[in-house]
Structure 1
Amino acid sequence: MKRNGVVYLVGAGPGDPGLITQKGLNRLGSCDALVYDSLASDYFLDEVPDHCRKIYVGKRAGAHSMKQEEINRLLVELAEEGLNVVRLKGGDPFVFGRGGEEILALSEAGIPFEVVPGVTSAVAALSMAGIPVTHRAVSRSFHVMTGHTLSDNGTLPPDFDSFAKLSGTLVFLMGLSNLSLIVNGLIKNGKPEDTPAAVIENGTLPEQRTVRGTLADIENRAEQAEIKSPAIIVAGDVAALDFSSTLSLPLKGCRIGITGTESFAGRLRRELLKYGGMTDNVLTLSTQSHRSGEAMKEAYKSLKSYSWLVFTSANAVREFFTGLFEGGYDLRLLGTIRFAAIGKGTADELLKTGFHADYIPDCYQVKDLAEGLKSLLTKEDRLLIPRSAGGSPELNRVLDEAGVFYDDIVLYDVALKKSEQESMEKVLAPLHYLTFASASGVDAFFQGAREKVLPSLASLKVVCIGDITAKALCRYGREADLIAPVYSISGLTEVICQDWCREKE
């Protein structure tokens, strides 16, 4: 008899993808099916294995694309197929997340489950706004109530008067449309009009905004500031405190879209996060290997005839050595070969295999790589250049002019990885910058949708890793706003940091 799979109810946290737990990420990394709601970041969709089935159930206030009973049934059916399922929910599964209902359905069907708690916005959004939910001698407790179900009939629930009379901090989630009812209900039930209050929009995200006031004027202040959902309402003395972070990272408040392979996107994301930026994976490229093709098979057989191996990307390094070992060869075959790497990232990847790069150009561009190599080579040298199908012809031009003997072999190709993301227009809307790391990435971005996405680029700055990538962008009618002078992740990060700091001056 086929064994049932397991369902993991995972809390995605309050919005900032960095606030998911490590255990939650581990569950995402090994699941067969992902059932997810509307999330603040599509980052999580790229954390699941390639074979994972992604099923969007669209839980959003007032616009549920799938009823809760249907979601319950879906989880059971997927687990009965023997799949390990992650049910990813914003915040914590049990803080107005209806996780309990899903567990009851799983239990009735005999499906094993695990709950992975998440950070709730009821605490995190306040913390990011500098409002402590408790503070000695100010608030000894906090209480959370859902706000969007307060007024099915235009009235407050019967237990609201008891809630309003509680001491400490009162927090209302999803209640912006009922702000007037909540404020008037609190005052009517004894809260003084001068009680501090706050409304926090987009908590923990770069576009977070906080409006402070009192119960007497918070409604007008929120309206004047044009605060929109999702928003959290806070009432209590702690709302008058401001313990906002004083650490000013250079990319604080900046949201950056990333295009590229999973490996590149992960490294760039980690670098940008170090400087306080928030990232969204806009487009993910997958590598399609040709290392077992006839051209590469012949190259591996003839490795001893080459004096230089030239790598123009970290992907090329990984693909080359994987093919080397798959072919039954080992590192002894490379004993007399020298290595050239286009930049530090590629050289670092090479070093993981045990080899230092013999040559890295000062500027990490293909032209500089070729020009530098030209001065090091003799007529006896023979180069092997295993690289992407979309490699720059600039390398060939310089080497041909110098009369260098080389074999330029397609080792891999890059292609758009299918995704269940929202429309590109919605993905781009909240971004301040969009990064491109290759001409292939530019081509994939505009593939079949040039007219649709081009207008969406008008409201953000496009950043290219080098001139070749920028030229590819120009072919689609858009010039790069920023070009990283150094062909590397640090170069991209530096040029964004400099521009963002100028914008804030």
Structure 2
Amino acid sequence: MSQSTGCVYLIGAGCGQADLITLRGLELLRQCDAVVYDDLIADELLQAAPPQARRIYMGKRLGRHSAPQEEISQTLVELAGHGLRVARLKGGDPFVFGRGGEEALALQAAGIPFQVVPGISSSIAIPALAGIPVTHRGLSRGFHVVTAHTAQGGRDDFDRLAKLEGTLVFLMGLSHLRGIAQGLIAAGKSPQTPAAVVSGGCAPHPATVRAPLGQLAAAAEQAGVQPPAVIVVGETAALDLTSAAKRPLEGIQAAVVGTPVLQQRLHQVLTPLGARPFAVLTSQLEELPCSFDWNTLCDGTPRWVVLTSQNGVDCFFRRLNEQHIDLRRLHACRFAAIGKATAASLADHGIQADLCPPVHTTHALAQALVEAVPQGEPVYLFRSALGSPELYHRLAEHTYTEDIPLYTLRAPDGDCTSLFSQIQQSDYLVFSSASGVSFFLDTFGSIPEGPVCVCIGPVTAQALASHCKTPPLTAQDISASGIRDTILAHRTVHK
């Protein structure tokens, strides 16, 4: 084998949120040169791969055009053959009806080194998340996992399945649900047997329906359950071991347009409340060339440094570090932040904001600075090139002001149009910048009517307003927490 040959990691990505992947799987993902991924892989996992890593979608879904298994295996062989470390992200566990065995055999035959990283199978994870254990003392001493294709083999298969003790778990079977139920009943299974259909994990339309086996298909159709879904048949399906007290945003879906940092922070504040944020149009931060003389801030003259975003704070301190500037040399500078989140990010770097307006808007920040800064004292705006010109013009009328763009945002790479249907059926559509609104309109052409639009601040809301039939919600605080509080308040009123 050539020394340039790479390797493949067959990683089970778990079911649902990104943090259900194993630590080993995440670590290998962070080291890869290419990611080959399935349907329903959490976007946060794709973001965990190095920025330069190739991202190759090769999902397989019923009713959709998908790559043949042979093509997927060949792609893995070719990528590793070119010396790349390939993360093959598979939903659930690679070897539980994930066709990971076929990919492993193809890699073996080609002499490609590979490593299997087990994952949480949907056969146990999806029922568990709905409060259904596949085993339970006194009810089920074991469980059997089959696919709908296995159950379609004929009367002999149903005769065998109906006689099995314990819990039956059917994967990829929603389109055959009525036939599965009828086949089991005809083979002797009681129509009163507890059963359930669960669509969860990263499914676009999460739902849990419990009913006796004889009524399950009708109940699932009435509830509008959509694939992918897991079917559970057995006594444990009647259990509901989820918390009796539902979280305030339980089951709510929020489509998020923004940078990876904002999407991660929204995930951190929304998921503990039961919401399910997912990323769309992940805009990329691109740092810009900067001719500003950073030693200007170090001459002991009183000056103001103004920061209007957490991204701006991070870029500002990165540039200082690149210039080898000791923070103690900025002792004469005073710092202003547009809101609590930006001020908190500033504090993470060891500096407390001298000014943070009570209303976290560009207009309020401009007014607060005009009142606080003596005429003639220099002000430096370190921010995005896409920032509103209002702040600069208002300050320039009052004192010497420089607008220094440190970064810009660019539209995401790749085709995201397949997400539009999922966005339409979401509860909320979150925008974190006016540029995100532009990216969305350029990609999809219009704002869908289904979800309630939520904007991080008034500038974003102004960019969106003329494209919405109903006024968007606007966070009072320009931060992920502000967006969370806005959704919570709206949900409380419109339950």
TM value normalised by structure 1: 0.91
- The separation in 1 between residues aligned to 2:261 and 2:217, in whole angstroms, is 46
What residue is the counterpart of 1:330 in the other structure?
326
Instruction: Report how far residue 391 of structure 1 moved.
Output: 1.4
Residue 382 (structure 1) aligned with residue 374 (structure 2): no
Query: Do 1:464 and 1:480's aligned partners in 2 also have CA atoms closer than 8 Å?
Result: no
1:290-305 equivalences under 5 Å are: 290=288, 292-294=289-291, 296=292, 298-301=293-296, 303-304=298-299, 305=301
Letter in structure 2 aligned against 1:79: A
1:18 deviation in Å?
4.0
1:249 and 2:240 matched: no
Q: CA offset at residue 159 of structure 1?
A: 4.5
| Aligned position for 2:148 | 147
In structure 1, how many angstroms separate the alpha carbons of the residues matched to 2:393 and 2:410?
25
- For 1:308-319, what aligned pairs fall within 5 Å after superposition? 308-319=304-315
Which deviates further from its counterpart, 162-171 or 209-218? 209-218
- Over 3 Å counting, the alpha-carbon distance change for 1:104 and 1:333 in structure 2 is same
Matches within 5 A, 1:415-430: 415-430=410-425
Q: CA deviation at 1:497?
A: 0.9
19-28 vs 83-92, which deviates more?
A: 19-28
How far apart, in 2, do the equivalents of 1:45 and 1:88 lie?
A: 9
Asked if 1:237 corresponds to 2:235, the answer is: yes
Residue 223 to residue 284, structure 1, CA distance change in 2 (3 Å): closer
- Contact 2:44 2:264 (C-alpha < 8 Å) held by counterparts: no
Q: What is the SS of the residue equivalent to 1:408?
A: strand
Q: For 1:242 and 1:248, locate their aligned partners in 2 and report how far apart those are by CA, in whole Å.
A: 12
- Could you tell me how far 1:199 is from its partner in structure 2? 2.1
Of residues 159, 164, 167, the one that matches 2:165 is 167
Q: Does 1:433 align with 2:428?
A: yes
Query: How many angstroms does 1:213 deviate by?
Result: 2.4
Could you tell me whether the CA contact under 8 Å between 1:31 and 1:85 is conserved in 2?
A: yes
Partner of 1:189: 187
**Using the alignment, how far apart are the partners of 1:225 and 1:267 within structure 2?**
32
- Once the two structures are superposed, what CA deviation does each residue of 1:423-446 show, in whole Å capped at 9, x if it has no partner? 352341332111112222222222
* Distance 1:63-1:80 versus aligned 2 partners, 3 A rule: same
Aligned residues: 493
Secondary structure of 1:360's counterpart equals: coil
Instruction: Give yes or no for contact 2:475–2:482 (8 Å, CA) kept in 1.
Output: yes
- Residue deviations 1:15-64, cap 9 Å, x none? 34343333333332222111112216434332222211111223113545
* Kept in 1: contact 2:134–2:142 (CA 8 A): yes
CA contact (8 A) 1:130 1:244 kept: yes
8 Å contact from structure 1 (residues 254, 500) kept in 2: no
Residues 425, 453 of structure 1: 8 Å contact kept: no
Unaligned runs of 5+ in 1: none
Contact 2:281–2:416 (8 Å) recurs in 1: no
**Which residue identity does 2:180 align to in structure 1?**
I
Residues 422 and 122 of structure 1: CA distance in aligned 2, closer, same or farther (over 3 Å): farther
Q: What are the equivalent positions in structure 2 for 1:80-95 lying under 5 Å apart?
A: 80-95=81-96
Q: Is the 8 A contact 1:174 1:232 kept in 2?
A: yes
Change (3 A) 1:63 1:369: closer
Alignment of 1:201-212 (within 5 A): 201-202=199-200, 207-212=205-210
Contact persistence 2:449–2:469 (CA under 8 A)? no
* 1:79 corresponding residue in structure 2: 80
Q: 1:354 aligns with which of 350, 353, 356?
A: 350
Question: 1:322 Cα shift?
Answer: 1.5
Aligned to 1:119: 120
Contact 2:379 2:401 in 1 (8 A): yes
Q: Match of 1:459?
A: 450
2:407 aligned counterpart, secondary structure: strand
- Which residue pairs with 2:403 in the alignment? 408
Q: Note the C-alpha offset of 1:178.
A: 2.3
Q: Deviations over 1:203-261 (max 9, x none)?
A: 57584223322233323333333433222222111222222322422211111111222
- Whole-angstrom distance in 1 between the partners of 2:149 and 2:192: 25
SS of equivalent to 1:411:
strand
Work out whether 1:488 is the aligned partner of 2:485. no
* C-alpha distance in 2 between matches for 1:503 and 1:475: 24
TM-superposed CA distance for 1:314, in Å, is 1.5
Contact 1:7 1:84 in 2 (8 A): yes
Aligned to 1:130: 131
CA distance in 2, matches of 1:219, 1:424: 28
Q: Which residue identity is paired with 1:46?
A: Q
Give per-residue Cα distances to partners, 1:251-273, cap 9 Å, x unaligned.
Answer: 11111111222222211221112
- Partners of 2:151 and 2:188 lie apart in 1 by 19
Q: In the aligned structure 2, how far is the partner of 1:459 from the partner of 1:158?
A: 46
Contact kept, 8 Å, 2:456 with 2:478, in 1: the verdict is: yes
Contact 2:424 2:449 in 1 (8 A): no
Report the CA distance shift for 1:299/1:475 in structure 2 as closer, same or farther (over 3 A).
Answer: farther
The Cα of 1:160 is off from its aligned counterpart by 4.2
Is the contact between residue 466 and residue 484 of structure 1 (CA under 8 Å) also seen in structure 2?
yes
Moved more, 191-200 or 37-46: 37-46
CA contact (8 A) 2:151 2:157 kept: no
Query: Which residue number corresponds to residue 99 of structure 1?
Result: 100
Deviation at 1:124, TM superposition (A): 1.8
Aligned partners of 2:20 and 2:120 also within 8 Å: yes
CA contact (8 A) 2:35 2:53 kept: yes
Matched AA of 2:111: G
- For 1:477 and 1:462, locate their aligned partners in 2 and report how far apart those are by CA, in whole Å: 8
Q: 1:500 aligns with which of 480, 491, 494?
A: 491
Matched residue, 2:71: 70
Show the 5 A alignment for 1:39-58.
39=40, 41-58=42-59
- Counterpart pick for 1:342 among 335, 338, 342: 338
Looking at structure 2, the residues matched to 181 and 262 of structure 1 have their Cα atoms a distance apart, in angstroms, of 44
Match of residue 288 from structure 1: 286
Residues 362-382 of structure 1 show CA distances to partners (whole Å, capped at 9, x for unaligned) of 111111112112222223421
Report the Cα distance in structure 1 between the residues aligned to 2:214 and 2:469, rounded to whole angstroms.
Answer: 49
5+ residue gaps in structure 2? none
